[in-house]
Structure 1
Amino acid sequence: MARIQSYGESGRLLTRRGFLVTTAGASAAFGFSDAAHAAIDLAAPGSAASLAAGQLFEPTLWFSIDGKGIVTVNIIRAEMGQHVGTALARILADELEADWDKVRIVHVDTDPKWGVMVTGGSWSVWQTWPIFSRAGAAGRMTLIEKGAKLLGVSPSICTARGGAVIAGKQTISYADIVRRGGVLRRFTPEELGKLPIKPASQRRLIGRAVAALDIPAKINGAARYGIDAKTPGMVYARPKLPPTRNGSKVISVDDSQAHGVKGYIRSIALDDPSDTVPGWVMVIAETYPAAIRAADLVTVNWTPGPGADVSEKDILDHAARQIADADGGALLDTGGGDTEAAFRAAKSTIEQTYTTATVLHFQLEPVNALAFEKDGVFEIHTGNQWQSLILPTLAKALQRPQTSIVMRTYLIGGGFGRRLNGDYAVPAALAAKALGRPVKMVLTRADDARFDSVRSPSVQTLRMAFAEDGRVSAMEHHAAAGWPTQVMAADSLPKGQNGAPYDPFAISGADHWYDVGAQKVRAISNDLANSTFRPGWLRSVGSGWINWALESFMDEAAHHVGVDPVAFRLKLLNGTGRNAGSAPNSVGGAKRQAEVVRRTAERAGWGATLPQDSGLGIATSFGQERNMPTWIACAARVRVDRATGAVTVEKLTIVADAGTIVDPDGARAQTEGAALWGLSMALHEGTAFQNGRVKDTNLNSYTPLRIGDVPEMDISFIDSAETPVGLGEPATTVIAPAIANAIFTAVGVRLRHIPITPEAVSAAMAAGK
């Protein structure tokens, strides 16, 4: 999922700013200055300026401690069921030595002071780790110094534990320190960067079982999601969606029949300077049921934009033609050599093509937004994963400064990447501007499906060459799909080795850790897909289709040379050259990936005899990005019904190495959820474009994984003190290829398209391939 700015491997956003710790009298301010070494004038103890702050110690903008010892941690990441606040707060609380029972979290609204606000890519823990660790450490250090002074002892004999400073038999709580105040200390960026972080052996919250901080509100009804937002005087809107996602224009609107619906107000054809929702007509009513009924009675004539006659086959055929054009696309820098020479000299070669279908998000909470202007500020109330992406678009749409727009934060009833694209906020805002009163827009399930930022269908061709000694001498990976980042954040695209831009989130995973000799990776933007729909980031994004092809192909290559698939992978995961890894994120490199493969195979009983028509298949990945690798492997045990072609997944064995596991319960839940989504997309989930629209718009025909299809799951994590990396998505990527490889073991046929349907399995068995 798209990232414009990373905090970096050493938290370098922090080191660009001065870090100031101060409490004056009964107040405290501990924050970042805009200039690296700028001085800050402090109010004198007892002055009106200091007292106005009250009893509050603010050791950065990231957290505060009040006079009761309550630690409030500010969270800029979106909560969508993953308990992100709990995970991040415990990083800070552990270093601070806080009492967990006194820790609270606040999901904050948009403000430039927070920097880039985005939740995706499995980055939250990884990016926040260096920032919150050092913020907590600086707070602890300052509290120890002040506590020692109040106790009349040297700081060197003091420790902090459970929200208090301890010196022998003397103890003073953080609450008492804050109430008594009076500390000044300045940290330069260089000093902050050198602050020591506790060794793993001294951690008391990280990796331990603690209560999730957001559960009570979710179960007692206090939690508020975007769909719950309301304000006095608001009206409701349901859109009439145009025939194409892009370029449609309204010719006429006939709402004569809608006037018979009680509560109907009017229909508004939106004028959108940002071109986010071209051709939209908003049907306004006093209640949402009235808006739904009225919208069904409003007739709109449009001039459709491009893609009105495009089918799924058109998109896939176009991608295949793009791959056949050797001059198209961007080349990734893989450090490889001349692949063409290696293929010419090869003793044998293998080449295969893999495809994937369009996938919908189908999150539980359909997209929605409440918008209105108040006191010169335009407020957007909604759940959102990437506020920093949509705010400039809203400013363009509303024709007003971005500084006069604020997004209020709500919990999200399912994001999975759909709410990275905050396009749904634009029509609500434009309708509120046109009407001059608050407008709440909620999409129906069918509207949500049609307006979705889908995972693009993809086509990939992979080639491998083998030398005389049986060694892999070269590999090529060519992938064509719609590019979400190109469509929604084009200025952030990096350049390939040949100078062409590419979307890293449509090719992540192809720059793998296998030692394959000369290597060529080509990323191709499917322009027909981009113009037909708005490609989106969906859980694991490009890695979901990239790893499907890569790990299916690795299995085929192993069988091509008559080598066991596990042994084949282990030989290539040797950790040499560029695959050796480096500090701080990928220490150990490919050897850590080899270890999860070994452990997965052992736990799954690799090599054991299975019943007839049953098989075990394996797949592995490093998650998403080489600079944040999450080493993971899955072994899938399946049974194939030869009479119907139905595939039953009986067990998934998963081993992950994600470095330090901050939140064990959250890590397991994330891995379970990701794996089940991967299973859903492998066997059940997918749609197709027909006449420029997805053919499935509800759960009667779009059929994700059902509870009865959930297999036994054996999930384990490698104990590690290395840098924590992401767990929200990696497990998604290994399921489909593990299943396909298991099907081959069970009945001897290869499936190269997902979802794998019973019809496809039966056809492959009938064809004998």
Structure 2
Amino acid sequence: MDTPVNTPALSRRGFLIAAAGTGVAFSFLTACETKEAASTAAAYEPTQWYAIDNAGIVTVNVIRAEMGQHVGTSLARILADELEAPWENVRVKHVDSDPKWGLMVTGGSWSVWQTYPLYSQAGAAGRAALIEAGATALGVDPATCTAVNGEIVSGDKKISYKDIVRKGGLTKTYTPEELGAIKLKAVADRKLIGKPVTSVDIVEKTTGAAVFGIDAKVEGMVYGRPIIPPTRNGSKANSVDDSAAKSVKGYLQSVILEDASNTVPGWVMVIAETYPAAKKAADLVKVDWTPGPTANVSEKDLQDHSTKLIAKADAGSVLPTGNTDTSAAFRSAASSIEATYTTATALHFQMEPVNALAFQKDGKWEIHTGNQWQSLVLPWLAKALAVPETDVVMRTYRLGGGFGRRLNGDYAVGAALAAKAIGKPVKMILTREDDTKFDSVRSPSVQKMRMAFDKAGAVVGMEQHVACGWPTEVMAPFFMPKGEKDVPFDPFAISGANHWYAVGAHKVRAISNDLANQTFRPGWLRSVGPGFTNWALESFIDEAAHKLKMDPVEFRVKLLTGEGANAGSAPNAVGGALRQANVVKLAAQKAGWGGQLPDGTGLGLATSFGQERDMPTWVACVARVNVDRGTGNVKVEKLTLVADAGTII
């Protein structure tokens, strides 16, 4: 962050502990002080992703949001391993928005998987440049040099990264083509990847020093709490009666927000000197609204609409899964099975309610908030504020939980519009109730499953039809791939249905529930598509095994042949279905599948894979469950989980 913010004040106890620790540190440093001269040499930046300063400190620029998953540590470890940097010299900087970073998004379990090539190449490039510069400084042939733990070594000669930077003259940079050609370390030579290290931010997180969006403050700011309209879309605030709110000490005003981006239609922002005052006053303000057309739509209405859409043979998009014409397979089938599965609306309930601080400074709008997809919300902010995107900067903070909610940064628009309306910095915080009302929920879904068998019981055809609200269609249509006949589909509402099982003709149809899209703003939640598509799939696989009177594990392994398209693809998903079969067999073995169990106790297995087929992850879980036949109480006694996640960082 470039703009200073005030972090929460230390408690008296915290101050005394900190002061005592500082005294010890000062005493120790004084006793051990060295006379090394300060250097003014500029830091060396082999790529934009990191810099090495004249003290040997490596600062890694991270564009992924930190929300408890230690993504900074993971990505810095990838880079530092290739760079041969001592871990104690590595720092992480979660950068603010800037076009130079490209796509800034943290979601879908993509961060490590998709950033690995970029950061490993960047680290290796720096190592190569330092070897070249170190060889020059030592007066030796670069071919005789190796990089070892922050030093370039040639025989009995060596020079540290710090001293190389201090000598200056390091200007070597790399084109994308050169980075792609860089030779990476052999797996056996890795020192940080897959090894135990201390997370770089563990002290901040455990002492309370970490600054979250809800902690951001600037001089002269006021607080805002929105009054959420009756519908997510189409509501209009006609008038505001704040007469009762004027009795609240610190209450300032209520503002009807005018939103050209249509992100927060119908919002009224209650402004006060303190957040408690804004919170209390908002409960007293009365708003006359004209609600949107979906005010009376129920969960049942949404599910019924999905069912009707599935019944329309030409609705939706058919995914390119190979042979998608299942009609012949079902016509000639000796038997078949069919089932329908539904899931309900799911909320995020992340620990930190959404919030944002917005203000204009030196002609630029600054938005201080925790966010998972800066590249998505920046255009909304620019449109709402009627300024170019280059005049909006999103400052980065820790997230108190994301789970996909903060991929949709709609809440930042409300704070920005309020700040523009009153001409002051506005810190907006939603209450837990507000956050729930305004959540970008995962849509309810309806899924129709069909499977066809020949006379020998072999699977010859399968269909999975999924209807639900599409978050990507509503918020990021440019992110949607195309299915057959060039019909686009939302991958995050269907992924998981294009599974690794060999089922003959295979039809997967994704259908957008337009009523759901109008009723709320569908959101991404954790595993996104597989969160409900794979649940239906695995439930249906069990039903199919039961119909065939086959063991559920045996049935799954039989279908995970690893042939054809299910063989997987390089570089990430090599092995494909065979790797999934392996985790299934291993989980079953470790859980004692097929062994003797007490009365009322049973085992059940489910298996899944990464959000997309090219993601290098396969998992299987066996649940040992006991049912008390007298009371009907169900107790999960043990879960046995096996995961193949490729390279473990």
Normalized against structure 2, the TM-score is what?
A: 0.93
User: Residue 513 of structure 1: which of 479, 489, 500 is its match?
Assistant: 500
**Residue 25 of structure 2: aligned partner:** none
- Post-superposition offset of 1:199: 1.2
Q: Contact 2:310–2:465 at 8 Å: present in 1 too?
A: yes
Say whether residues 1:621 and 2:608 are aligned partners. yes
Q: Does 1:289 align with 2:289?
A: no
Any idea what the Cα deviations from partners look like across 1:569-627, whole Å, max 9, x if unmatched? 11111110111112101111111111111111111111122222221111111121012
Q: 1:648 and 2:632 equivalent?
A: no
CA distance in 1, matches of 2:433, 2:130: 55
For residues 480 and 629 of structure 1, do their structure 2 counterparts lie closer, same or farther at Cα, with a shift above 3 Å needed?
farther
Contact 2:47 2:174 in 1 (8 A): no
For residues 147-166 of structure 1, the C-alpha deviation after alignment (integer angstroms, 9 at most, x for no partner) is: 11111111111111111111
List per-residue Cα deviations over 1:443-486 (Å, max 9, x = no partner): 00000000001111111011000012221000000001111101
1:313–1:163 distance in 2 versus 1, CA, 3 Å: same
Q: What CA distance in whole angstroms lies between the structure 2 residues aligned with 1:95 and 1:53?
A: 27
Residue 433 of structure 1, aligned match among 395, 400, 420: 420
Does residue 1:421 correspond to 2:408, yes or no? Answer: yes
Q: Which residue of 1 aligns with 2:343?
A: 356
Aligned residues of 2:336 and 2:452 also touching (Cα < 8 A): yes
Task: Work out which of the residue numbers 492, 496, 515 in structure 1 matches 2:479.
Answer: 492
Q: Name the SS for the 1:378 alignment partner.
A: strand
* 1:643–1:445 distance in 2 versus 1, CA, 3 Å: farther
Residue aligned with 1:575, SS: coil
Aligned to 1:759: none
What is the letter of the counterpart of residue 563 of structure 1?
A: M
The total of aligned residue pairs comes to 612
Amino acid at match of 1:336: N
CA distance change for structure 1 residues 385 and 549 in 2, over 3 Å: closer, same or farther? Answer: same
Match of 1:340 among 307, 321, 327: 327
The one-letter code of the counterpart of 2:558 is: K
**Any conservation in 1 of the 2:494–2:533 contact (CA below 8 Å)?**
yes
Distance 1:645 1:288 in 2: 48
Sort the Cα spacing of 1:185 and 1:366 in 2 relative to 1 into closer, same or farther, 3 A. closer
Residue 597 (structure 1) aligned with residue 584 (structure 2) = yes
Offset from partner CA, 1:4-30 (integer Å, 9 cap, x none): xxxxxxxxxxxxxxxxxxxxxxxxxxx
- Judge conservation of contact 2:359–2:419 (CA < 8 Å) in 1: yes
Secondary structure at 2:642's aligned position in 1?
strand
Corresponding position of 1:638: 625
Check 1:186–1:383 CA distance in 2 against 1; reply closer, same or farther (3 A cut): closer
1:161 corresponds, among 148, 157, 160, to 148
Q: Are residues 1:574 and 2:599 paired?
A: no
Is it true that 1:107 corresponds to 2:94 in the alignment?
yes
Q: Counterpart of 1:677? A: none
1-structure distance, mates of 2:154, 2:88: 23
Map of 1:658 onto structure 2? 645
Matched residue SS, 2:265: coil
- 2:557 maps to amino acid: L
CA offset at residue 391 of structure 1? 0.1
Pick from 298, 301, 310 the counterpart of residue 323 of structure 1.
Answer: 310
Q: Which residue of 2 aligns with 1:3?
A: none
Which runs of no fewer than 5 residues in structure 2 stay unpaired? 1-38
Q: Distance in 2 between matches of 1:443 and 1:424?
A: 9
Whole-Å Cα distance in 2 between the matches of residues 316 and 568 of structure 1?
31
> What CA deviation, in whole Å up to 9, does each residue of 1:15-69 have, x standing for no partner?
xxxxxxxxxxxxxxxxxxxxxxxxxxxxxxxxxxxxx984311111100111110
Give the equivalent residue in structure 2 for 1:254.
241
- Counterpart in the other structure of 1:716: none
Q: In the TM superposition, what is the alpha-carbon distance from 1:403 to its structure 2 partner?
A: 0.2
- 1:380 CA drift (Å): 0.3
Deviation at 1:124, TM superposition (A): 0.4
Shift of 1:311: 1.1
Post-superposition offset of 1:246? 0.5
Distance 1:414 1:396 in 2: 27
- Partner Cα separation in structure 2 for residue 605 and residue 512 of structure 1: 26
Q: Which amino acid aligns with 2:548?
A: V
Shift of 1:644: 4.7
**8 Å contact 2:40–2:54 — kept in the other structure?**
no
2: CA distance between counterparts of 1:463 and 1:260? 63
Partner of 2:524: 537
Q: Give the 3-state SS of the residue equivalent to 1:638 in structure 2.
A: strand
Q: 1:422 is aligned with what amino acid?
A: G
Q: Letter of the aligned partner of 2:98 in structure 1?
A: D
Tell me, yes or no, if structure 1 residue 60 matches structure 2 residue 47: yes
- Residue deviations 1:620-666, cap 9 Å, x none? 1112101224111111111223455443222111111111001xxxx
Shift of 1:184: 4.5
* TM-superposed deviation, 1:117: 0.3
Matched-pair contact (CA < 8 Å) for 1:366–1:444 = yes
The reply to whether residue 546 of structure 1 matches residue 533 of structure 2 is: yes
Distance in 1 (CA, whole Å) between partners of 2:160 and 2:265 is: 58
Deviation at residue 553 of structure 1 after TM alignment: 0.4
Matched with 1:119 is 106
Aligned to 1:741: none
Q: Distance in 2 between matches of 1:207 and 1:520?
A: 39
- Aligned CA distance change for structure 1 residues 186 and 69 (closer, same or farther; 3 Å): closer
Structure 1 Cα separation of the partners of residues 125 and 325 of structure 2: 51
Conserved? CA contact 1:337–1:517, under 8 Å: no
Tell me the TM-score normalised to structure 1 length.
0.78
SS at 2:443 equivalent: coil
Contact 1:224 1:411 in 2 (8 A): yes
CA distance in 1: counterparts of 2:365 and 2:325, whole angstroms: 56
Distance 1:182 1:172 in 2: 15
CA distance in 1 between counterparts of 2:631 and 2:64 reads: 45
Cα separation, 1, equivalents of 2:281 and 2:174:
61
- Residue 680 of structure 1 corresponds to none
Kept in 1, the 8 Å contact 2:224–2:272? The answer is yes
Give 1:715-734 correspondences, 5 Å limit. none
1:608 aligns with 595
Write the distance in 1 (CA, Å) between the matches of 2:628 and 2:236: 50
SS at match of 2:218: coil
**1:337–1:519 CA contact under 8 A, matched in 2:** yes
Q: Which one of 290, 294, 298 corresponds to residue 303 of structure 1?
A: 290
1:98-157 CA distances to partner (integer Å, 9 max, x unpaired)?
000000000000011111100001000111111111110010001011111111111111
Shift, 1:326, TM fit:
1.4
Once the 2 structures are TM-superposed, how far is the Cα of residue 168 of structure 1 from its aligned partner?
1.4
Corresponding residue SS for 2:342: strand
Match of 2:456 among 462, 466, 469: 469
> What letter is aligned with 2:111?
S
The answer as to 2:126 corresponding to 1:139 is yes
Q: Which residue of 2 aligns with 1:454?
A: 441
Q: Please tell me whether residue 207 in structure 1 is matched to residue 203 in structure 2.
A: no
Residues in 2 aligned to 1:90 and 1:614: alpha-carbon distance in whole angstroms:
44
Q: Distance in 1 between matches of 2:228 and 2:290?
A: 12
Distance 1:450 1:186 in 2: 50
CA distance in 1, matches of 2:524, 2:631: 34
After superposing the two structures, state which structure 1 stretch, 233-242 or 330-339, moved more: 330-339
**Cα offset, 1:191, TM superposition:** 3.0
- Residue 496 of structure 1 and its aligned partner are, at CA, apart by 1.3
Gaps of 5+ in 1: 1-51, 663-769
Name 1:197's counterpart in structure 2.
Answer: 184
Letter of the structure 2 residue corresponding to residue 289 of structure 1 = P
Structure 2 CA distance, aligned partners of 1:600 and 1:332? 30
8 Å Cα contact 1:367-1:448 kept in structure 2: yes
Q: How does 1:80-99 map to 2 (within 5 A)?
A: 80-99=67-86
Specify the code of the residue in structure 2 equivalent to 1:609.
Q
Once the two structures are superposed, the pairs formed by residues 32-51 of structure 1 within 5 Å of their partners are none
Using the alignment, how far apart are the partners of 1:643 and 1:257 within structure 2? 57
Deviation of the 1:183 alpha carbon: 3.7
Q: Give 3-state SS (helix, strand or coil) of 2:283's partner.
A: helix
Instruction: Give the letter for the 2:86 counterpart.
Output: D
TM-fit CA distance, 1:189: 3.8
